[in-house]
Amino acid sequence: MVCAVVGGRDFPPGFKFGAATAAYQIEGAWNVSDKSPSVWDSHVHANPDRIIDRSNGDVASDSYYKWKDDIEIASKLGLHFYRFSIAWSRLLPKGFANYISEDGKKYYNDLIDGLLEKGIEPLITLYHWDLPQVLQDLGGWTNPLISDWFADYARVAYSLFGDRVKIWITLNEPVMFCDIAYNTGALAPGVYSPGRGSFLCNKHSMIAHAKAYRIYDEEFRPKYNGKVSLANQIMWFEPATEDDVEITEIARQFMAGMYSHPIFSKEGGWPPVMERIIAEKSKKEGLNHSRLPPLTQEEIELIRGTYDFFGLNFYTSRTVLTAKEEEKIGPWPYKGSSDIDVHLTVKPEWKNAGTKWFFIYPEGLRKLLVWLKKEYGDMEIFITENGLASYDIGLDDHDRVEYYKEHLEQVLLAIQEDEVKVTAYTAWTLIDNFEWLDGYRSKFGLYQVDYEDPERKRTPRASAHYYASVIKCHSLDIDNIISDEL
Ligand code: PNW
């Protein structure tokens, strides 16, 4: 008997559980067949020192060859859906839509069909940070034409896979590939352009998303009837003292609002407070134009309302203090440009997880869900990522079990007490993978991957048993955690 008979902690009927991965982090096969390099291939090859263990994604978890194992795992866990991303440069090696790789097409078709055979819904992310290098050579996300290049790519993907794939995420975490990438230079494409490149990327990514959404809406929705949105990564921000309430709300607009207000608010456009602050700063810097490129009325209308749900990636939280100039750091634990005078820190009781940016505060998730509903209305919310980093602790990942349990509790409370319409939850991640700047040092997998083994053997951790039990019971009320079967 796995599931408890009594208990009030059931998930609503129809609530879906899944797990996610991303192409560069798992596939490997970086130069197989006609695949061209992405910005991450170039970045790690040119700057091995940027990655903690000097590793890269050349082989990664080898999912280009081991995709059947991944499907098997997803099936054993009982996942309702599997979120994976397409490597743009595997499907369209020239970056543009007039040449489609047969090999790329076959790889994703096999994966989709394999999932469907096991009754697992495929959910595709079109862009999880691996821009074709050939497009980066033309300026990448700082070139306004990228919105058309991306829209063309999206159309190819919808045409090839839209008959079987009903949920699409256009962009994963523009806050990372725009703000963090350009404000630090540490992530691909390795271009340091704080407060400039980041805002160009910000604007062009919003337009790219909107165009891809509208293409689906006009050309594919009538026959396929799916859903499209993007996945925003948001930290919960809490005021450090009563005096910091106002600055905290401003910080939320810079972190969450920057990539949500244009799409999800009624009025559209940049968050007004962000527009005002950056305009003032730019003026003080002696500039005639704000560094935040304006959105024309036409662009505002193009972007506004381009969603069928809100995709939320949640991991961690911060407290916010008004900063003196010398203490100022961005809305991230990295130095770089920040246009708001805030100092971000954490509460001493928030435990640090297996990487420097990660502090655990489960209540932050519920508070954020409530804030999103208040800010943007009563929309459907998918949690598109949530999970814990750990150092290599083997298979007994009890901290991860706790993390999942405590966060799922907060999701249930948000649904039951606050009436937030959360309809899906996605664990990050199915299997250990290349964790960007942390290389293979920090682990997020429900399944461990043995990187010493050429076969990249996958082994379930305690968290896999726990998650499988939650899915099986559709509840947090579990008598016994599934101990075998995986
Ligand atoms: C996300 N933070 O990135 C990405 O979508 C995944 O590719 C990644 O592996 C996963 O979360 C774990 O890191 C994040 O600083 C990177 O709060 C940084 C943060 C959060 C998420």
Cite the beta strand spans of 268-369 per DSSP E: 310-313, 317-322, 342-345
Cβ–Cβ under 8 Å, residues 359 and 317: yes
Does 184 contact ligand 1 (Cβ within 6 A)? no
The closest alpha carbon to 291, from 193, 205, 382, belongs to: 193
Cβ–Cβ under 8 Å, residues 180 and 259: no
**Whole-angstrom Cα distance, residue 119 to residue 476?**
23
Query: What pLDDT does residue 69 have?
Result: 98
- Residue 328: band (very low, low, confident or very high) from pLDDT cuts 50, 70, 90: low
Kind plus residue range of the DSSP H or E element containing 17: strand 16-20
Cα(219) to centroid(ligand 1), Å: 32
Cα(20) to centroid(ligand 1), Å: 12
Q: Which residue has the tokens 């150092």?
A: 391
Domain range list for the chain: 16-235+309-314+358-485
What burial class does residue 285 get, using C-beta atoms within 10 Å of its C-beta: 0-12 exposed, 13-18 middle, 19+ buried?
exposed
Is residue 326 pLDDT above 90, yes or no?
A: no
Residue 413 is encoded by which pair of tokens?
């409370």
Is residue 147 pLDDT above 60, yes or no?
A: yes
Question: Whole-number mean pLDDT of the chain?
Answer: 95
For residue 439, list its beta bridge partners.
none
- Superfamily name and number for 16-235+309-314+358-485: Glycosidases (3.20.20.80)
Query: What pLDDT does residue 337 have?
Result: 53
For residue 124, list its beta bridge partners.
84, 168
61, 176, 346, 444: residue to mutate for ligand 1 pocket, most atoms within 8 A of CB: 176
Query: What pLDDT does residue 335 have?
Result: 45
Residue of higher predicted confidence among 484 and 385: 385
Residue 117 is encoded by which pair of tokens?
């055979």
- Residue 67: band (very low, low, confident or very high) from pLDDT cuts 50, 70, 90: very high
pLDDT, mean of residues 185-201: 95
24, 344, 385: residue to mutate for ligand 1 pocket, most atoms within 8 A of CB: 385
385 among known catalytic residues: yes
Query: What pLDDT does residue 340 have?
Result: 85
Hey, what's the torsion of the CAs at 314, 319, 321, 327, to 10 degrees?
-80
Query: What pLDDT does residue 336 have?
Result: 47
pLDDT in tens, 392-449: 789 999 999 999 999 999 999 999 999 999 999 999 999 999 999 999 999 999 999 9
Residue 43 is encoded by which pair of tokens?
């970045």
CA 130 to chain CA mean position, Å: 13
% of the chain with per-residue pLDDT over 70:
97
